[in-house]
Chain A
Amino acid sequence: MENILEVKKLSKKYTGFELKNISFELPKGMIMGFIGENGAGKTTTIKSILNIIGNYKGEVKIFGLDNKKNEREIKEDIGVVLDDMFFPEILLPKDINTIMKDVYKNWDSDLYFKYLRDFNLPKDKQIKTYSKGMRKKLEIATALSHHPKLLILDEPTSGLDPIARNEVIDIFQDFIQNEECGVLLSSHITSDLEHIADYITFINDGEIILSKTKDELIEQYGIVKCTESEFNKIDKQDYIKYKKTKYECELLVENKNEFKKKYNINTIDKISLEDLMVLMVKGEK
Protein backbone atom coordinates (compact mmCIF):
# COMPACT_ATOMS: atom_id res chain seq x y z
CA MET A 1 0.00 0.00 0.00
CA GLU A 2 1.36 3.42 -0.95
CA ASN A 3 1.98 5.85 1.90
CA ILE A 4 0.61 9.38 1.85
CA LEU A 5 2.72 10.37 4.86
CA GLU A 6 6.03 8.96 6.09
CA VAL A 7 7.80 10.18 9.21
CA LYS A 8 11.28 8.78 9.78
CA LYS A 9 13.44 9.30 12.86
CA LEU A 10 12.00 12.69 13.66
CA SER A 11 13.61 14.33 16.66
CA LYS A 12 13.40 17.77 18.17
CA LYS A 13 14.79 19.08 21.45
CA TYR A 14 13.26 21.76 23.67
CA THR A 15 14.25 22.58 27.22
CA GLY A 16 12.60 19.86 29.26
CA PHE A 17 11.14 17.98 26.30
CA GLU A 18 12.46 15.83 23.50
CA LEU A 19 10.86 14.19 20.51
CA LYS A 20 12.86 10.97 20.26
CA ASN A 21 13.41 9.54 16.78
CA ILE A 22 9.76 9.00 16.04
CA SER A 23 8.71 7.09 12.93
CA PHE A 24 5.33 6.12 11.52
CA GLU A 25 3.57 5.77 8.18
CA LEU A 26 0.07 6.62 7.02
CA PRO A 27 -1.09 4.65 3.97
CA LYS A 28 -3.40 6.22 1.39
CA GLY A 29 -7.12 5.85 2.02
CA MET A 30 -6.66 5.60 5.79
CA ILE A 31 -7.42 7.67 8.88
CA MET A 32 -4.73 7.60 11.56
CA GLY A 33 -5.70 8.51 15.11
CA PHE A 34 -2.77 10.16 16.85
CA ILE A 35 -3.16 9.86 20.60
CA GLY A 36 -1.21 10.69 23.71
CA GLU A 37 -1.59 12.72 26.88
CA ASN A 38 -1.07 16.48 26.96
CA GLY A 39 2.58 17.38 26.41
CA ALA A 40 3.40 13.95 24.93
CA GLY A 41 4.58 15.52 21.65
CA LYS A 42 1.55 15.32 19.35
CA THR A 43 1.48 19.00 18.41
CA THR A 44 5.29 19.16 18.08
CA THR A 45 5.11 16.20 15.69
CA ILE A 46 2.34 17.82 13.66
CA LYS A 47 4.18 21.17 13.56
CA SER A 48 7.35 19.40 12.39
CA ILE A 49 5.42 17.56 9.66
CA LEU A 50 4.06 20.92 8.51
CA ASN A 51 7.50 22.50 8.80
CA ILE A 52 6.17 25.17 11.16
CA ILE A 53 8.98 24.62 13.62
CA GLY A 54 12.53 24.54 12.42
CA ASN A 55 15.68 22.75 13.55
CA TYR A 56 14.23 19.28 13.78
CA LYS A 57 16.10 16.21 12.62
CA GLY A 58 14.73 13.39 10.55
CA GLU A 59 12.79 12.97 7.38
CA VAL A 60 9.18 13.74 6.54
CA LYS A 61 7.70 12.72 3.21
CA ILE A 62 4.23 13.76 2.13
CA PHE A 63 2.86 12.39 -1.17
CA GLY A 64 6.37 10.89 -1.53
CA LEU A 65 7.94 14.37 -1.52
CA ASP A 66 10.31 15.93 1.01
CA ASN A 67 8.35 18.35 3.20
CA LYS A 68 11.12 20.98 3.15
CA LYS A 69 12.20 20.85 -0.49
CA ASN A 70 8.66 20.70 -1.89
CA GLU A 71 6.93 22.73 0.80
CA ARG A 72 4.67 24.89 -1.36
CA GLU A 73 3.66 22.11 -3.71
CA ILE A 74 2.79 19.85 -0.78
CA LYS A 75 0.82 22.51 1.07
CA GLU A 76 -1.47 23.06 -1.93
CA ASP A 77 -2.84 19.60 -1.18
CA ILE A 78 -2.99 19.64 2.61
CA GLY A 79 -5.90 20.79 4.75
CA VAL A 80 -4.95 21.77 8.27
CA VAL A 81 -6.85 22.40 11.49
CA LEU A 82 -4.60 23.35 14.38
CA ASP A 83 -5.60 23.98 17.94
CA ASP A 84 -6.12 27.74 18.50
CA MET A 85 -4.48 28.86 15.27
CA PHE A 86 -6.60 30.51 12.65
CA PHE A 87 -7.55 33.81 11.04
CA PRO A 88 -7.81 36.97 13.16
CA GLU A 89 -11.17 37.11 14.91
CA ILE A 90 -12.07 40.46 13.38
CA LEU A 91 -12.57 38.84 9.96
CA LEU A 92 -15.84 37.58 8.48
CA PRO A 93 -16.14 34.09 6.96
CA LYS A 94 -16.83 35.69 3.57
CA ASP A 95 -13.47 37.53 3.87
CA ILE A 96 -11.77 34.15 4.35
CA ASN A 97 -13.20 33.07 1.00
CA THR A 98 -11.77 36.15 -0.75
CA ILE A 99 -8.37 35.65 0.89
CA MET A 100 -8.15 31.91 0.25
CA LYS A 101 -9.06 32.31 -3.44
CA ASP A 102 -5.68 33.97 -3.79
CA VAL A 103 -3.84 31.49 -1.59
CA TYR A 104 -4.90 28.09 -2.97
CA LYS A 105 -4.96 27.27 -6.68
CA ASN A 106 -7.82 24.81 -6.10
CA TRP A 107 -9.91 26.92 -3.73
CA ASP A 108 -13.57 26.11 -4.32
CA SER A 109 -15.81 29.00 -3.19
CA ASP A 110 -19.02 27.07 -3.89
CA LEU A 111 -17.84 24.20 -1.72
CA TYR A 112 -16.77 26.60 1.05
CA PHE A 113 -20.17 28.33 1.15
CA LYS A 114 -21.89 24.94 1.00
CA TYR A 115 -19.99 23.91 4.13
CA LEU A 116 -20.96 27.21 5.80
CA ARG A 117 -24.62 26.52 4.99
CA ASP A 118 -24.39 22.87 6.10
CA PHE A 119 -22.78 23.91 9.38
CA ASN A 120 -25.22 26.82 9.89
CA LEU A 121 -22.40 29.36 9.98
CA PRO A 122 -23.40 32.94 9.08
CA LYS A 123 -20.97 34.32 6.53
CA ASP A 124 -21.46 37.98 7.56
CA LYS A 125 -20.67 37.72 11.26
CA GLN A 126 -17.22 38.34 12.69
CA ILE A 127 -15.41 35.20 13.84
CA LYS A 128 -15.19 36.67 17.35
CA THR A 129 -18.98 36.38 17.68
CA TYR A 130 -18.83 32.65 16.96
CA SER A 131 -18.98 30.04 19.70
CA LYS A 132 -16.02 27.68 20.09
CA GLY A 133 -17.91 24.96 18.25
CA MET A 134 -18.85 27.28 15.35
CA ARG A 135 -15.27 28.44 15.10
CA LYS A 136 -14.04 24.87 14.92
CA LYS A 137 -16.56 24.11 12.17
CA LEU A 138 -15.37 27.16 10.26
CA GLU A 139 -11.77 25.93 10.55
CA ILE A 140 -12.84 22.53 9.22
CA ALA A 141 -14.81 24.12 6.36
CA THR A 142 -11.73 26.18 5.46
CA ALA A 143 -9.45 23.12 5.61
CA LEU A 144 -11.69 21.15 3.27
CA SER A 145 -12.53 23.75 0.63
CA HIS A 146 -9.48 23.41 -1.62
CA HIS A 147 -9.97 19.67 -2.23
CA PRO A 148 -6.97 18.56 -0.15
CA LYS A 149 -5.55 15.05 -0.39
CA LEU A 150 -4.24 14.95 3.17
CA LEU A 151 -5.96 16.35 6.24
CA ILE A 152 -3.83 17.09 9.29
CA LEU A 153 -6.10 17.80 12.20
CA ASP A 154 -5.12 18.69 15.74
CA GLU A 155 -8.10 18.29 18.07
CA PRO A 156 -10.68 19.04 15.35
CA THR A 157 -13.68 17.90 17.39
CA SER A 158 -12.82 19.54 20.70
CA GLY A 159 -15.47 22.03 21.75
CA LEU A 160 -18.12 20.47 19.54
CA ASP A 161 -21.36 19.06 20.88
CA PRO A 162 -22.10 15.37 20.09
CA ILE A 163 -24.31 16.24 17.10
CA ALA A 164 -21.71 18.54 15.55
CA ARG A 165 -18.99 15.96 16.27
CA ASN A 166 -21.04 13.38 14.46
CA GLU A 167 -21.47 15.73 11.47
CA VAL A 168 -17.74 16.38 11.36
CA ILE A 169 -16.85 12.71 11.64
CA ASP A 170 -19.24 11.94 8.78
CA ILE A 171 -17.41 14.56 6.69
CA PHE A 172 -14.05 12.92 7.42
CA GLN A 173 -15.49 9.55 6.49
CA ASP A 174 -16.86 10.94 3.23
CA PHE A 175 -13.47 12.54 2.59
CA ILE A 176 -11.67 9.21 2.94
CA GLN A 177 -13.93 7.54 0.37
CA ASN A 178 -11.42 8.86 -2.13
CA GLU A 179 -8.67 6.30 -1.67
CA GLU A 180 -5.99 8.74 -2.77
CA CYS A 181 -6.57 10.75 0.41
CA GLY A 182 -5.55 10.34 4.04
CA VAL A 183 -6.22 11.85 7.45
CA LEU A 184 -3.91 12.31 10.42
CA LEU A 185 -6.16 13.12 13.33
CA SER A 186 -4.88 13.99 16.76
CA SER A 187 -7.60 13.86 19.40
CA HIS A 188 -8.27 13.33 23.06
CA ILE A 189 -11.77 12.15 22.27
CA THR A 190 -10.87 8.50 21.89
CA SER A 191 -14.48 7.46 21.21
CA ASP A 192 -14.34 9.47 17.96
CA LEU A 193 -11.15 7.70 16.96
CA GLU A 194 -12.61 4.29 17.79
CA HIS A 195 -15.41 5.20 15.42
CA ILE A 196 -13.38 6.36 12.41
CA ALA A 197 -9.65 5.58 12.71
CA ASP A 198 -8.06 2.77 10.72
CA TYR A 199 -4.69 3.17 12.42
CA ILE A 200 -3.77 4.23 15.94
CA THR A 201 -0.42 5.81 16.73
CA PHE A 202 0.29 6.40 20.38
CA ILE A 203 2.94 8.85 21.50
CA ASN A 204 4.13 9.11 25.07
CA ASP A 205 6.86 11.36 26.44
CA GLY A 206 8.16 12.10 22.93
CA GLU A 207 8.30 8.46 21.85
CA ILE A 208 6.01 6.40 19.64
CA ILE A 209 5.10 3.45 21.79
CA LEU A 210 2.54 1.92 19.48
CA SER A 211 1.49 2.28 15.85
CA LYS A 212 -0.93 -0.38 14.63
CA THR A 213 -4.19 -0.84 12.80
CA LYS A 214 -7.24 -0.38 15.01
CA ASP A 215 -8.44 -3.89 14.13
CA GLU A 216 -5.14 -5.40 15.31
CA LEU A 217 -5.44 -3.49 18.56
CA ILE A 218 -9.00 -4.52 19.22
CA GLU A 219 -8.50 -8.15 18.20
CA GLN A 220 -5.15 -8.76 19.87
CA TYR A 221 -4.88 -6.46 22.87
CA GLY A 222 -6.91 -6.96 25.98
CA ILE A 223 -7.28 -6.10 29.64
CA VAL A 224 -6.92 -8.99 32.02
CA LYS A 225 -8.65 -8.64 35.35
CA CYS A 226 -7.33 -10.93 38.06
CA THR A 227 -6.67 -11.25 41.77
CA GLU A 228 -3.31 -10.36 43.27
CA SER A 229 -2.45 -14.01 43.82
CA GLU A 230 -3.18 -14.76 40.15
CA PHE A 231 -1.14 -11.71 39.17
CA ASN A 232 1.88 -12.93 41.12
CA LYS A 233 1.95 -16.10 39.01
CA ILE A 234 2.04 -14.22 35.70
CA ASP A 235 5.34 -13.88 33.87
CA LYS A 236 6.37 -10.20 33.43
CA GLN A 237 7.02 -10.75 29.74
CA ASP A 238 3.38 -11.68 29.16
CA TYR A 239 1.93 -8.25 29.88
CA ILE A 240 2.83 -4.71 28.85
CA LYS A 241 1.68 -2.73 31.88
CA TYR A 242 -0.40 -3.37 35.01
CA LYS A 243 -2.45 -1.38 37.45
CA LYS A 244 -3.43 -2.51 40.93
CA THR A 245 -6.65 -1.41 42.57
CA LYS A 246 -7.95 -2.28 46.03
CA TYR A 247 -9.80 -5.34 44.78
CA GLU A 248 -8.12 -6.50 41.59
CA CYS A 249 -5.23 -6.14 39.18
CA GLU A 250 -5.61 -4.95 35.58
CA LEU A 251 -3.04 -6.09 33.05
CA LEU A 252 -2.61 -4.83 29.53
CA VAL A 253 -1.73 -7.79 27.31
CA GLU A 254 -0.63 -7.75 23.71
CA ASN A 255 -2.03 -11.13 22.68
CA LYS A 256 -5.15 -11.95 24.64
CA ASN A 257 -5.75 -15.34 23.00
CA GLU A 258 -2.29 -16.69 23.82
CA PHE A 259 -2.59 -15.28 27.31
CA LYS A 260 -5.91 -17.07 27.78
CA LYS A 261 -4.39 -20.37 26.71
CA LYS A 262 -1.33 -20.00 28.94
CA TYR A 263 -2.94 -18.85 32.19
CA ASN A 264 -6.51 -20.04 32.07
CA ILE A 265 -7.86 -16.63 33.11
CA ASN A 266 -11.17 -15.93 31.49
CA THR A 267 -11.79 -12.32 32.51
CA ILE A 268 -10.17 -10.61 29.55
CA ASP A 269 -12.00 -7.47 28.44
CA LYS A 270 -11.97 -5.95 25.01
CA ILE A 271 -9.73 -2.91 25.08
CA SER A 272 -10.88 0.66 24.51
CA LEU A 273 -8.47 3.37 23.41
CA GLU A 274 -9.07 5.17 26.67
CA ASP A 275 -8.09 2.07 28.70
CA LEU A 276 -5.07 1.64 26.48
CA MET A 277 -3.96 5.24 27.04
CA VAL A 278 -4.49 5.12 30.79
CA LEU A 279 -2.68 1.82 31.26
CA MET A 280 0.16 2.72 28.91
CA VAL A 281 0.77 6.02 30.69
CA LYS A 282 -0.21 5.34 34.28
CA GLY A 283 0.38 1.60 34.48
CA GLU A 284 3.50 0.06 35.96
CA LYS A 285 5.80 -2.49 34.42
Chain B
Amino acid sequence: MKGLLLKDFYTTKANIFVAFLSCIVMAIGLSIVISPSVVIILVAIPLSMTVSSTIISDKKNKWTQFAITLPVTKKQIISSKYIAYLFWTVLGMLIGSLICYIILKVTNSTDEYINMFMGFSIIISLLSGSFIIPCNFMLPEENSLIGTILAYSMTSGILALFIYVIKKVIGVSNMNLTLLIICSISVIVYLISWYISQKKIKNFN
Protein backbone atom coordinates (compact mmCIF):
# COMPACT_ATOMS: atom_id res chain seq x y z
CA MET B 1 0.00 0.00 0.00
CA LYS B 2 2.77 2.45 0.96
CA GLY B 3 4.48 1.73 -2.37
CA LEU B 4 1.28 2.58 -4.26
CA LEU B 5 0.89 5.86 -2.36
CA LEU B 6 4.55 6.72 -2.99
CA LYS B 7 4.09 6.07 -6.69
CA ASP B 8 1.15 8.49 -6.75
CA PHE B 9 3.17 11.06 -4.84
CA TYR B 10 6.12 10.86 -7.24
CA THR B 11 3.75 11.01 -10.22
CA THR B 12 1.93 14.10 -9.01
CA LYS B 13 4.56 16.04 -7.09
CA ALA B 14 5.51 18.28 -10.05
CA ASN B 15 1.84 18.95 -10.90
CA ILE B 16 0.93 19.50 -7.26
CA PHE B 17 3.56 22.20 -6.85
CA VAL B 18 2.27 24.13 -9.88
CA ALA B 19 -1.40 23.56 -8.90
CA PHE B 20 -0.64 24.60 -5.35
CA LEU B 21 1.06 27.86 -6.36
CA SER B 22 -1.81 28.74 -8.77
CA CYS B 23 -4.37 28.00 -6.06
CA ILE B 24 -2.56 30.20 -3.55
CA VAL B 25 -2.40 33.15 -5.96
CA MET B 26 -6.06 32.70 -6.98
CA ALA B 27 -7.17 32.15 -3.39
CA ILE B 28 -5.38 35.22 -2.02
CA GLY B 29 -6.94 37.32 -4.78
CA LEU B 30 -10.43 35.96 -4.13
CA SER B 31 -10.03 36.20 -0.37
CA ILE B 32 -9.75 39.99 -0.70
CA VAL B 33 -12.94 40.14 -2.78
CA ILE B 34 -15.04 37.52 -0.94
CA SER B 35 -13.61 36.34 2.39
CA PRO B 36 -10.16 35.10 3.52
CA SER B 37 -11.66 31.73 4.52
CA VAL B 38 -12.53 30.99 0.88
CA VAL B 39 -8.82 30.01 0.62
CA ILE B 40 -9.62 26.81 2.55
CA ILE B 41 -11.95 25.48 -0.12
CA LEU B 42 -9.86 26.82 -3.00
CA VAL B 43 -6.77 24.90 -1.88
CA ALA B 44 -8.45 21.72 -0.62
CA ILE B 45 -10.49 20.88 -3.73
CA PRO B 46 -7.79 21.26 -6.42
CA LEU B 47 -5.32 19.28 -4.29
CA SER B 48 -7.78 16.41 -3.82
CA MET B 49 -8.48 16.49 -7.57
CA THR B 50 -4.87 15.45 -8.27
CA VAL B 51 -5.92 11.93 -7.26
CA SER B 52 -8.42 11.90 -10.10
CA SER B 53 -5.63 12.86 -12.51
CA THR B 54 -3.48 9.97 -11.24
CA ILE B 55 -6.26 7.46 -11.98
CA ILE B 56 -6.56 8.81 -15.52
CA SER B 57 -2.79 8.81 -16.09
CA ASP B 58 -2.55 5.29 -14.62
CA LYS B 59 -5.01 4.13 -17.24
CA LYS B 60 -3.13 5.92 -19.99
CA ASN B 61 0.20 4.37 -18.95
CA LYS B 62 -1.45 0.99 -18.25
CA TRP B 63 0.10 1.25 -14.78
CA THR B 64 -2.97 -0.29 -13.15
CA GLN B 65 -2.60 -3.44 -15.23
CA PHE B 66 1.11 -3.56 -14.37
CA ALA B 67 0.30 -3.00 -10.68
CA ILE B 68 -1.88 -6.12 -10.68
CA THR B 69 1.21 -8.17 -11.53
CA LEU B 70 2.81 -6.94 -8.28
CA PRO B 71 2.02 -8.43 -4.86
CA VAL B 72 -0.77 -5.94 -4.21
CA THR B 73 -4.47 -6.67 -4.39
CA LYS B 74 -7.04 -4.87 -6.53
CA LYS B 75 -8.64 -3.71 -3.26
CA GLN B 76 -5.35 -2.10 -2.20
CA ILE B 77 -5.03 -0.33 -5.55
CA ILE B 78 -8.52 1.15 -5.10
CA SER B 79 -8.01 1.94 -1.41
CA SER B 80 -4.75 3.76 -2.13
CA LYS B 81 -6.73 6.27 -4.22
CA TYR B 82 -9.34 6.82 -1.48
CA ILE B 83 -6.58 7.26 1.13
CA ALA B 84 -4.62 9.66 -1.11
CA TYR B 85 -7.83 11.64 -1.77
CA LEU B 86 -8.45 12.01 1.97
CA PHE B 87 -4.82 12.94 2.57
CA TRP B 88 -4.81 15.73 -0.03
CA THR B 89 -8.20 17.03 1.15
CA VAL B 90 -7.03 17.27 4.76
CA LEU B 91 -3.65 18.73 3.78
CA GLY B 92 -5.38 21.26 1.49
CA MET B 93 -7.69 22.30 4.31
CA LEU B 94 -4.78 22.69 6.73
CA ILE B 95 -2.75 24.75 4.28
CA GLY B 96 -5.83 26.80 3.37
CA SER B 97 -6.56 27.41 7.07
CA LEU B 98 -2.96 28.48 7.67
CA ILE B 99 -3.06 30.95 4.79
CA CYS B 100 -6.43 32.23 6.01
CA TYR B 101 -4.98 32.68 9.51
CA ILE B 102 -1.98 34.61 8.13
CA ILE B 103 -4.24 36.89 6.02
CA LEU B 104 -6.46 37.59 9.02
CA LYS B 105 -3.41 38.34 11.21
CA VAL B 106 -1.80 40.60 8.61
CA THR B 107 -5.03 42.51 7.93
CA ASN B 108 -5.97 42.42 11.62
CA SER B 109 -9.50 41.34 10.78
CA THR B 110 -11.91 38.49 11.61
CA ASP B 111 -13.87 36.15 9.36
CA GLU B 112 -17.31 34.82 10.30
CA TYR B 113 -17.37 32.35 7.37
CA ILE B 114 -14.52 30.08 8.50
CA ASN B 115 -16.80 27.30 9.75
CA MET B 116 -18.94 27.50 6.64
CA PHE B 117 -15.99 27.19 4.23
CA MET B 118 -14.44 24.42 6.37
CA GLY B 119 -17.75 22.56 6.15
CA PHE B 120 -18.10 23.17 2.42
CA SER B 121 -14.54 21.91 1.84
CA ILE B 122 -15.31 18.62 3.57
CA ILE B 123 -18.72 18.22 1.93
CA ILE B 124 -17.73 19.12 -1.62
CA SER B 125 -14.47 17.15 -1.51
CA LEU B 126 -15.94 13.99 -0.01
CA LEU B 127 -19.24 13.93 -1.89
CA SER B 128 -17.59 14.62 -5.25
CA GLY B 129 -14.77 12.17 -4.44
CA SER B 130 -17.37 9.49 -3.73
CA PHE B 131 -18.44 9.73 -7.38
CA ILE B 132 -15.24 10.82 -9.12
CA ILE B 133 -13.01 7.98 -7.89
CA PRO B 134 -15.24 5.09 -9.03
CA CYS B 135 -16.16 6.96 -12.23
CA ASN B 136 -12.49 7.42 -13.12
CA PHE B 137 -11.84 3.73 -12.56
CA MET B 138 -14.85 2.56 -14.53
CA LEU B 139 -15.24 5.09 -17.35
CA PRO B 140 -12.95 5.13 -20.36
CA GLU B 141 -10.25 7.85 -20.22
CA GLU B 142 -12.05 10.08 -22.73
CA ASN B 143 -15.18 10.16 -20.53
CA SER B 144 -13.39 10.87 -17.25
CA LEU B 145 -13.87 14.62 -17.58
CA ILE B 146 -17.62 14.13 -18.07
CA GLY B 147 -17.62 11.97 -14.92
CA THR B 148 -15.87 14.75 -12.99
CA ILE B 149 -18.28 17.45 -14.22
CA LEU B 150 -21.26 15.22 -13.37
CA ALA B 151 -19.81 14.49 -9.92
CA TYR B 152 -19.50 18.20 -9.07
CA SER B 153 -22.97 18.96 -10.48
CA MET B 154 -24.44 16.12 -8.41
CA THR B 155 -22.55 17.33 -5.33
CA SER B 156 -23.95 20.86 -5.69
CA GLY B 157 -27.47 19.47 -6.16
CA ILE B 158 -27.18 17.11 -3.20
CA LEU B 159 -25.74 19.88 -1.01
CA ALA B 160 -28.61 22.23 -1.89
CA LEU B 161 -31.14 19.45 -1.28
CA PHE B 162 -29.63 18.55 2.10
CA ILE B 163 -29.61 22.18 3.24
CA TYR B 164 -33.25 22.54 2.17
CA VAL B 165 -34.36 19.29 3.84
CA ILE B 166 -32.46 19.98 7.07
CA LYS B 167 -33.69 23.57 7.30
CA LYS B 168 -37.25 23.29 6.03
CA VAL B 169 -38.31 19.71 6.73
CA ILE B 170 -36.37 18.85 9.91
CA GLY B 171 -36.46 22.46 11.07
CA VAL B 172 -32.81 23.01 11.99
CA SER B 173 -32.05 26.71 11.52
CA ASN B 174 -28.50 26.78 12.91
CA MET B 175 -26.10 26.85 9.92
CA ASN B 176 -23.22 25.27 11.85
CA LEU B 177 -25.42 22.36 12.94
CA THR B 178 -26.74 21.98 9.39
CA LEU B 179 -23.18 21.82 8.03
CA LEU B 180 -22.17 19.35 10.74
CA ILE B 181 -25.04 17.03 9.75
CA ILE B 182 -24.16 17.27 6.04
CA CYS B 183 -20.44 16.75 6.79
CA SER B 184 -21.33 13.57 8.68
CA ILE B 185 -23.48 12.38 5.77
CA SER B 186 -20.59 13.15 3.35
CA VAL B 187 -18.17 11.07 5.41
CA ILE B 188 -20.67 8.17 5.41
CA VAL B 189 -21.25 8.48 1.63
CA TYR B 190 -17.46 8.51 1.09
CA LEU B 191 -16.98 5.38 3.19
CA ILE B 192 -19.84 3.61 1.39
CA SER B 193 -18.33 4.56 -1.99
CA TRP B 194 -14.95 3.20 -0.82
CA TYR B 195 -16.52 -0.07 0.32
CA ILE B 196 -18.59 -0.57 -2.83
CA SER B 197 -15.68 0.30 -5.14
CA GLN B 198 -13.49 -2.30 -3.44
CA LYS B 199 -16.19 -4.92 -3.93
CA LYS B 200 -17.43 -4.05 -7.39
CA ILE B 201 -14.52 -2.68 -9.42
CA LYS B 202 -12.78 -5.80 -10.68
CA ASN B 203 -11.83 -5.09 -14.24
CA PHE B 204 -8.92 -2.69 -14.71
CA ASN B 205 -8.62 -3.34 -18.45
Contact = CB atoms under 8 A, between A and B. Distances in A.
A156 to B, nearest CB: 14
A72 B2 contact: no
A88 B58 contact: yes
A40 interface: no
Interface stretch (B23-31, B43-51, B69-77): B69-77
B3 A82 contact: no
A215 interface: no
Given A53-B205, A87-B61, A75 B71 contact: yes
A107 B168 CA distance: 59
A37 to B, nearest CB: 22
Given A54-B202, A103-B71, A84 B11 contact: no
A85 interface: yes
A217 to B, nearest CB: 30
B202 A99 contact: no
A89 interface: yes
A22 interface: no
A95 interface: yes
Contacts of A98: 6, 10
Interface in A96-130: 98-105
A104 B65 contact: no
B3 A101 contact: yes
B7 A76 contact: no
B6 A99 contact: yes
Given A88-B57, A91-B11, A100-B3, 17 more contacts: A51-B68, A52-B68, A54-B202, A54-B203, A85-B66, A86-B62, A86-B63, A87-B61, A88-B7, A90-B14, A91-B7, A91-B10, A98-B6, A99-B6, A101-B3, A102-B3, A103-B72
Interface of B: 1-4, 6-7, 10-11, 14, 57-58, 61-63, 65-66, 68-73, 202-205
